[in-house]
Copies of this chain bind each other. A is one copy, B any other.
Amino acid sequence: MPPPALTDFSRLAIHTMTNKPWTLAQCVDAYTAAGVPGITVWRNVLQDIGPQAAGRILRDSGLTVVSLARGGFFPAFEPSKRQAALDDNRLAIDEAAAIGAPLIVLVCGAVPGMSLFDARQQIRDAIGTLIPHAQATNVKLAIEPLHPMYAADRSAINTMAQARQVCEHLNSPWVGIAVDVYHTWWDGHLEKEIHLAAAANRLLAFHICDWRVNTRDLLNDRGLMGEGCINIREIRAWVQAAGFTGYNEVEIFSTDRWASDQSQYLDQIKDAYLSFA
Partner of A188, one of B116, B149, B211: B116
**Which residues of B are found within 8 Å of A188, using beta-carbon distances?**
116-117, 120, 159, 162
The verdict on A1 contacting chain B, using a C-beta distance below 8 Å, is no
List the B residue with the shortest CB-CB distance to A111: B229
The verdict on A113 contacting chain B, using a C-beta distance below 8 Å, is yes
The verdict on A213 contacting chain B, using a C-beta distance below 8 Å, is yes
The verdict on A218 contacting chain B, using a C-beta distance below 8 Å, is yes
**A188 vs B234: C-alpha distance when bound (angstroms):** 27
The verdict on A151 contacting chain B, using a C-beta distance below 8 Å, is yes
Partner of A149, one of B115, B148, B152, B231: B148
Partner of A187, one of B112, B148, B152, B153: B148
The verdict on A77 contacting chain B, using a C-beta distance below 8 Å, is no
**Which residues of B are found within 8 Å of A215, using beta-carbon distances?**
149, 152, 218
List the B residue with the shortest CB-CB distance to A191: B117
**Which residues of B are found within 8 Å of A116, using beta-carbon distances?**
186, 188
Q: How many residues of A contact B (CB 8 A)?
A: 27
Say yes or no: B153 contacts A213, CB within 8 Å: yes
The verdict on A147 contacting chain B, using a C-beta distance below 8 Å, is yes
List the B residue with the shortest CB-CB distance to A230: B152
Near B by CB (< 8 A), chain A positions 142-168 give: 147-149, 151-153, 158-159, 162
**Which residues of B are found within 8 Å of A186, using beta-carbon distances?**
116, 148, 151, 158
The verdict on A246 contacting chain B, using a C-beta distance below 8 Å, is no
List the B residue with the shortest CB-CB distance to A117: B188
**A31 vs B186: C-alpha distance when bound (angstroms):** 38
The verdict on A102 contacting chain B, using a C-beta distance below 8 Å, is no
The verdict on A128 contacting chain B, using a C-beta distance below 8 Å, is no
**A231 vs B187: C-alpha distance when bound (angstroms):** 23
A111 to chain B, nearest CB (A): 9
Asked, given contacts A116-B188, A186-B116, A213-B112, whether A229 binds B149 with beta carbons under 8 Å apart, the answer is no
List the B residue with the shortest CB-CB distance to A184: B148
**A234 vs B211: C-alpha distance when bound (angstroms):** 32
**A47 vs B180: C-alpha distance when bound (angstroms):** 43
**A69 vs B65: C-alpha distance when bound (angstroms):** 51
Near B by CB (< 8 A), chain A positions 104-143 give: 112-113, 115-117, 120
Beyond the given pairs A148-B148, A215-B218, 5 more chain A to chain B contacts, judged by CB atoms under 8 angstroms and listed by A's residue number, are A115-B231, A147-B148, A148-B149, A152-B211, A153-B229
Q: Can you show 7 pairs from A to B with CB atoms below 8 A apart?
A: A112-B213, A148-B187, A149-B215, A152-B211, A152-B215, A159-B188, A162-B188
Top 3 nearest A-B pairs (CB, nearest first) are A151-B186, A112-B229, A148-B186
